[in-house]
Amino acid sequence: MLSTQPNAKMAILYQNDDFGKDYPAGVKDVLGDKYGSVVVKEATFETSDATVDSQLTMLQASGANVLLLVAATPKFAAQAIRKVHELGWHPTFFLTDVSISVGSVMNPAGPENGIGIITTGYMKDPTDPAFKDDPGMNEWRSFMAKYMPGADLTDGNYSFAYGVSMVMWQVLKQCNGDFSRANIMKQATNLHDAYDPVLLPGITVNTSPTNFHPIRTMQLQKWNGKTWERFGDIIEGAS
C-alpha cells in the first residue's frame, strides 16, 4: 500500500480478540506516527456475530479507499467479500492469509466478487495450475486420495494441515524416542529446512531457541477469479 498508494485512506476490520488485535498492532508498527492520518476507521466483530454487514457499511462511509480484513474465519471473510461487492465499494482490498482458501472462502463468496483482492501466501495453492504436476502437491494429493477420498481439494486448509503435520513429524523424529516436554520443545526450536512439501518455492521452515517463527518469508498474491496469482519477490513476513 505504501509503495503504490501514497494517499491511501485505510479502514481495518478485525476480530475482537487477542488474535485479531495483533494485526492492527502490526500496522501501527509499520506506519508509526502516520497511523492516525492513514487509518481513517477501525471496526471489530465478535465470532458470535451473525454478519459483518453493518461494520462494512460503516467503513465504506468513512471514505476509505483501502480495506484491510484481518483474522477473519472463513465465514466472515466470505461474508465480507460478498458485502463489499454488494455495496459497490471498490477499495484496494487486503485479506490476511488465514482466510484465503478457495474452497472455504473464495468460492462461497462468489469467485467473481473477490477479483483483485491482495494477500500473502507461503503455501502452494491447490488451485494454482503451476502446481498441477508438482511433486510435493502430488504427494499431498496421493495422501488425500488414500485417506480422505471425496474431500474438496480446492480447500487449502487440507494442504495446510498436511504441511503442518509433516513439520510436526520432523520434530518427533528429532526427539529420537524422548518425548518429554523439554525435549519436544528443544527439537521444535531447532528445525533446519524442515521437510514441508506444500511450501512455495524459496520458502523454508526454520526455528532456533531465539526465534520461534517457523516461516519468515511470504509472497504477494492477487485473486484473478479462479486462483491466486503470485507476483513480486519473496518478502519478509513471519507466520
Percent of the chain with pLDDT over 70: 99
In a domain, 119, yes or no: yes
In a domain, 84, yes or no: yes
Supply the pLDDT for residue 238: 58
In a domain, 51, yes or no: yes
Domain extent at residue 53? 10-124+215-236
In a domain, 62, yes or no: yes
Check which CATH number belongs to the domain holding 95 and give it.
3.40.50.2300
How far from each other are the two terminal CA atoms of the chain, in whole angstroms? Answer: 20
SS3 of residue 51 by DSSP = coil
Supply the pLDDT for residue 98: 87
With CA atoms as reference, report the closest residue to 106 among 85, 122, 92.
85
Domains: count for the chain? 1
What is the value of pTM for the model shown?
A: 0.88
In a domain, 181, yes or no: no
Please write the tens of the pLDDT for every residue from 140-157. 999 999 999 999 999 999
C-alpha cell at 142: 496421493
In a domain, 156, yes or no: no
SS3 of residue 11 by DSSP = strand
In a domain, 88, yes or no: yes
How far apart CA 138 and CA 8 sit, in angstroms, is: 42
Supply the pLDDT for residue 73: 85
In a domain, 136, yes or no: no
